[in-house]
Amino acid sequence: MEPEVIAKTRVSNKKTAGKLLIIVVAMFGFGYALVPLYDVVCQVLGIGRFADIESGKYDPKAQEQLVKDMAANKDLTRNVTVEFITVLNGGMKWEFKALQKEVVVHPGVMSTVDFYAKNLTGRDVIAQAVPRILPGNATKYFTKIECFCFTQQIFKKGEARNMPLRFMVSPALPKSINTITLSYTFFDTQPVALK
Amino acid sequence: MSDHPTGIKRWLFTTNHKDIGTMYLWFAFTMLFIGGAMAMVIRAELFQPGMQVVNPNFFNMMTTLHGLIMVFGAIMPAMVGFANWQVPLMIGAPDMALPRMNNWSFWILPFAAIMLVAPMFIGGDFMAGQGPAFGWTFYEPLSGQYDKLAFFIFAVHLLGFSSIMGSINIIATILNMRAPGMTLMKMPLFVWTWLITAFLLIAVMPVLAGVVTMMLTDKHFGTSFFDAAGGGDPVLFQHVFWFFGHPEVYIMILPAFGIVSQIIPTFARKPLFGYASMVYATAAIAFLSFIVWAHHMFTVGMPAAGELYFMYATVMIAVPTAVKVFNWVATMWKGSMTFEVPMLWSIAFVFLFTIGGFTGLMLGVVPVDFQYHDTYFVVAHFHYVLVTGSLFAIIAGVYYWLPKWTGHMFDIRLSKIHFWVSAISVNILFFPQHFLGLAGMPRRIPDYALQFTEFNQISSIGAFIFGGTQLLFLYIIIKCIKGGDKVSDEVWEDAKGLEWEVPSPAPYHTHATPPTVK
Amino acid sequence: MSASHITKKLAVLSGLLLAPGVALADYALNMTQGVTEISNDIYDLHQLVMWICTIAGILVFTVMIYSLINHRKSKGAVAAQFHESATVEVVWTVIPLAVLVAIAVPATGVLLDIEDPSKSDVTIQVTGWQWKWQYNYRDEDLSFFSSLAADSNEARQLDADPSLKVKADNYLLNVDKPIVVPVNKKVRLLLTSNDVIHAWWVPEFAVKRDAIPGYINESHFTATKTGIYRGQCAELCGKDHGFMPIVVKVVEQAEYNAWIKSEKAAIAAAAGDSNKTFTHDELMAKGETVYKANCAACHQADGSGGGPFPGLIGSKVATTGSIEEHLKLIIVGKGIMPPFGAQLSDADIAAVTTYERNAWGNNTGDTVQPVAAKAAR
């Protein structure tokens, strides 16, 4: 090849390498920028409240307002059955049950139900309860004001205690739903940490 | 032939698209036999009720590795092999656009394959089944229970690298290196299908890499993407996996459509009917493949609205697919057909792929899928589209282009035996599996209730015949490479396309001066 | 279809030729109609879609075969050169679309029928375990495990005597304890899992739903005919995925009530067993039954183990190790061995411990009583 062609190629190679380097840095930076970006997006769209409660970022004022609004529209003529299911994962040696199998509530009225758990494993356990609601489309009409599932629960060896759940069903709950099933699965977090 | 290194160095350092294509095809062929041997173990165990050959864990390992090897080791590399050989020949390019990367993307594969099967041999007891045994879909949390998961994850990463580099190369070649006059809408359909496939690969392989990386950090670095205990979600795994998995299905079938669309017009002596609609149908299938993934998970308990959406989107795929079948039939219509071996395989492809397409439509209908899901009906369906679909098209393609590659005609008598025995036995193998599924036999079980015995025996007999016959294919290929009747440059009477204008066998360097397409 | 008749004949023929030892069982070619309204609807929908596909297939293949026969060069056919037609393309895009609408409309109807929020009569919580099912009758405080029947379990071992399969009652489709539900009553299932994903499937009810850890899924059925219905796990869940069947006994309401009563009485009796003292022979006999149902799948019926599962013959735990350690291991589990504390009673645990310490030449002479098992919990 002619020397000037070689020189030209070198220059253009350098340019390409430079461009690629900028792209790499930008992509890496974008990866880091995703964390604050997600925060902004979630805040704007109001998603991920569960995570917010856990991390302490959750705004209790907004929830207070939500509960007030629901209470203002309460519907004492309508009955909704809320039933509770308790599950222990991985053959966990605990006793875990809702003290009431089911309650009948009015939308917009606060209710409290106690759950009882006892650690039978013979060691201290950090456990996490994971909630699920049936039918799935009732989830957004079921507001938990206080729940043992918001944080990890530490149970000393042999410890037993009652844990309250305070909740409210939204008056906006679709008319076709008369029964809401709330399930809690308790997971022992130790296998996760050890895995 | 003296302008390149010889011996082992030729193959290790080659940047020649023909050498690399050859290596891809031999690699795929080797994997076909390894995966096939595993299928034979599966069918031997299922020949009778009761456990006779292997233990349940070994059986699960066989189904897992059979699936992974056939998908990632046999079908996909074979298609890339065709792309390497044929795309430059068909578009009038001297080589692939990125030859060194081409070499690298091939040479990653053997190491990935070793990494995938290595855990089988690590540990004390081979017959206990020490390899991955969680199904080729590796659903969490089951796969998370496996202690040597990292082998599998890194094997998948390597396969992903290879596929992405191969795809970049194919796109760059097709978009930049076409001969003067070869506009996009004049490209052979095989080139078109591969162009679209390559975009699919680049879009979904990172998703696969992402999902296995999440598994890796879940397993070893304390994250909880898929573990409900830490706020994760096992169903999220399925969504992410199938967002890769469904387009993957089309990655395996679109190039097969391309091969068949080259062969049928040649032997019907008539141009492909509806070329433009074929291109649009391929693009439509590729697009739809991204929005139907959850039809693999109708039983996870989605809301009815979600199930309805995925059902409608899924059955929509039947439209462009039907258009393709109609176009092939219309190409044959009023042609002047002869039935050389590649044509036989292509006709079998159209028949049998269509059956697989129909069962696919049935599976897309949500309420009935509740009965079909995870039964042998599904197994029969995807083997009809992958074996009598993709694999038959690959075999058709090998017979179609082998004379061009070697300069020799293969043994026609043997290859016809190969065709007829394969075409009959593959139906003995897979057709009864429809009945098994409808009668209620779940998939992925090593042993079954006595009422499933008869059809399983028929299926196994078909499997042994079909598997054994492929050894004949190996013999035919070796015989053809070693010698045979010399073929003309055109090979097939009145074959159209740039690949038939270069000499037979295709010299090491072709299209050094670009041909002009009118 | 005549093709399927031929296949059916072939099936019989090859069955006779190849498996003289295996009794010719019933075999089906089509989906079951089932015994619920929904399963019938699904069957009808299946028939509709299958016939649409069959007819479409016959049409396409007829054209193709006609062409293959008549448009061949050897018959002197000269190739026409037409290669596109917008009209034709539009027609054969619109026709499949219309057919799809004809399928989608009834399919949507059936799917929406399955979503039925009405009140149920019986609610059963179903939990998938590797590799058995746990059933919890919510309104009755009745909970039990249901695993593969012992005779099937013995027959399915590698290199077991082949005749055992024929002798076993409903080989691989029978359990030690079926669930019982009343006929013509809506039974609601709440599905979840203890470990990995399973799927609860009974074809006759057309119910197939995944059981996912941390999730709760819902399904329901109303069986219209009494009888025994069998199904299997339909999601790969590990080694013994093929060996966790489901058996549902549909009975009249009165019989159901009686069954609930007797189950509750049995639980009360078992609770009493915890404080009872058994003889060595009683414990050995009971222990063997418990061992075959729960332990033999991994440790083998002869205690020899295999692969990652240690043999028990002469093992430290079952011979020289302390009885308390042995009981703890069974109750709590270790590594890949699941805990059995939740599913076995004190008497069961004591019996199986006694059995393991004395069977296959582990002649320790130990006798473990239920009180010891209770204390070890």
The closest of B196, B173, B214, B29 to B87, measured between CA atoms, is B173
In chain B, count H helices and then E strands: 17, 0
Average pLDDT over residues B138-155: 92
A90 φ, ψ to 5°? Answer: 60, 30
C28 has a pLDDT exceeding 80: no
Overall CATH class of domain A75-194: mainly beta
Q: Which residues of C touch A130 (CB under 8 A)?
A: 214
Chain B interface mutation, best of A54, A88, A187, A194, highest count of B Cβ atoms under 10 Å: A187
Q: Dihedral of CA B458/B460/B464/B467: which sign? A: positive
What band does C5 get if pLDDT is binned at 50, 70 and 90?
very low
- Is A29 part of the contact surface with chain B (CB cutoff 8 Å)? no
The pLDDT tens digits of the residues spanning B482-513 come to 988 999 999 998 899 999 999 989 999 999 89
The residue whose two tokens read 């209620």 is: B440
SS3 for C235-277 is CCCCCCHHHCCEEEEEECHHHHHHHHHHHHHHHHHHHHHCCCC
Provide the b/e sequence for B396-405 (b: ≥16 CB within 10 Å).
bbbbbbbbbb
Amino acid at B137: T
Q: How far lies B94's CA from each of B17, B97, B517, C251, in Å?
A: 9, 9, 15, 76
CA–CA dist B33, A96 (Å, integer): 53
B248 catalytic, yes or no? yes
In which order are the strands placed within the sheet that holds A111-119? Answer: A94-98, A111-119, A160-169, A142-146
Q: Among B263-272, C51-60, C74-83, which is the least confidently predicted range?
A: C74-83
B269 catalytic, yes or no? no
Here the ipTM equals 0.92
B340 has a pLDDT exceeding 80: yes
C172 CB-near residues (< 8 Å, 6+ apart): B49, B447, B448, B449, C148, C152, C156, C232, C242, C243, C245
Q: How far lies A162's CA from each of A95, A115, A186, B64, C287, in Å?
A: 11, 5, 14, 46, 38
Helices (H), B289-411: 304-316, 318-332, 341-364, 366-372, 376-385, 392-406
Cβ(B474)–Cβ(B29) below 8 Å? yes
CB contact under 8 A, B230 and A191: no
Cβ(B154)–Cβ(B161) below 8 Å? no
In chain A, count H helices and then E strands: 4, 9
Residues of B contacting chain A (CB within 8 angstroms): 144, 218-220, 222, 224, 227-231, 301, 303
Angle at B498 between CA B496 and CA B504, to 5 degrees: 95
DSSP state letters, C51-87:
HHHHHHHHHHHHHHHHHHHHSBGGGT---------HH
Q: Which residue has the higher pLDDT, C197 or B124?
A: C197
Min distance B220 CA to chain A CA atoms (Å): 6
CB contact under 8 A, B231 and A89: no
B1 has a pLDDT exceeding 50: no
**Residue pairs spanning A and B at CB distance below 8 A:** 33
pLDDT of residue B232: 84
The pLDDT tens digits of the residues spanning B153-209 come to 999 999 999 999 999 999 999 999 999 999 999 999 999 999 999 999 999 999 999
- Is B312 part of the contact surface with chain C (CB cutoff 8 Å)? yes
pLDDT of residue C127: 94
Bridge partners of residue A180, in order along the sequence: A82
Burial grade of C244 (CB within 10 A; 0-12, 13-18, 19 or more):
buried
The closest of A149, A104, A143, A107 to A127, measured between CA atoms, is A149
CA–CA dist C210, C234 (Å, integer): 8
CB contact under 8 A, C218 and A120: no
Q: Which of A30-44, B433-447, C358-372 has the highest mean pLDDT?
A: B433-447
Angle at B442 between CA C236 and CA B301, to 5 degrees: 65
* % residues pLDDT > 90 (chain C): 45
pLDDT of residue A49: 54
What band does C334 get if pLDDT is binned at 50, 70 and 90?
confident
Q: At what angle do helices B453-482 and B392-406 cross, to 10 degrees?
A: 10
Q: How far lies B33's CA from each of B67, B107, C269, in Å?
A: 13, 19, 60
Q: Strand C122-129 relative to strand C187-193: parallel, antiparallel, unpaired?
A: parallel
B420 has a pLDDT exceeding 60: yes
The closest of B198, B206, B202, B314 to B258, measured between CA atoms, is B198
Min distance A135 CA to chain B CA atoms (Å): 8
CA–CA dist C72, B510 (Å, integer): 34
Chain B interface mutation, best of A88, A92, A195, highest count of B Cβ atoms under 10 Å: A195
B324 catalytic, yes or no? yes
CB contact under 8 A, A192 and B219: no
SS3 for B203-222 is HHHHHHHHHHHHHHHHHHCC
Q: Which residues of C touch B442 (CB under 8 A)?
A: 201, 232-234, 242
A22 CB-near residues (< 8 Å, 6+ apart): none
Q: Which residues of A touch C125 (CB under 8 A)?
A: 85, 87
pLDDT of residue B124: 77
What band does A15 get if pLDDT is binned at 50, 70 and 90?
very high
A112 CB-near residues (< 8 Å, 6+ apart): A164, A165, A166
pLDDT of residue B210: 94
Cβ(B14)–Cβ(B99) below 8 Å? no
pLDDT of residue A55: 47
Min distance B6 CA to chain C CA atoms (Å): 45
The pLDDT tens digits of the residues spanning A36-86 come to 888 787 777 666 554 444 444 556 677 777 788 888 888 888 888 898 988
In which order are the strands placed within the sheet that holds C198-202? Answer: C179-182, C246-251, C227-233, C198-202, C207-211
Q: Dihedral of CA B387/B384/C98/C206: which sign? A: negative
* Catalytic annotation, pick one of B14, B105, B143, B162: B162
CA–CA dist B8, B58 (Å, integer): 36
Min distance C267 CA to chain A CA atoms (Å): 18
Q: Classify A173 as helix, strand or coil.
A: coil
CA–CA dist C27, B24 (Å, integer): 44
| All domains of chain C in start order, with CATH | 23-114 (1.10.287.90), 122-271 (2.60.40.420), 274-376 (1.10.760.10)
B253 CB-near residues (< 8 Å, 6+ apart): B353, B385, B386, B389, B390
pLDDT of residue C3: 44
Cβ(A134)–Cβ(A178) below 8 Å? no
Token pair, residue C11, equals 């099936």
Q: Classify B62 as helix, strand or coil.
A: helix
The pLDDT tens digits of the residues spanning A162-190 come to 888 888 888 888 888 888 888 888 888 77
The H-or-E segment that residue C187 falls in is strand C187-193
DSSP state letters, C105-162:
HHHHHHHHHH---SPPSEEEEEEEETTEEEEEETTTTEEEEE-B-HHHHHHTSTT--T
Q: Spell out the domain ranges in chain A.
A: 75-194
What band does C267 get if pLDDT is binned at 50, 70 and 90?
confident
pLDDT of residue C27: 59
Q: How far lies C197's CA from each of B138, B144, B226, B235, in Å?
A: 12, 12, 12, 9
CA–CA dist B24, B4 (Å, integer): 19
| All domains of chain B in start order, with CATH | 12-500 (1.20.210.10)
- The CA R_g of chain C, rounded to the nearest whole Å, is 28
C11 has a pLDDT exceeding 60: no
The pLDDT tens digits of the residues spanning C270-294 come to 777 777 788 888 888 888 888 887 8
What band does C95 get if pLDDT is binned at 50, 70 and 90?
very high
CB contact under 8 A, C104 and B450: no
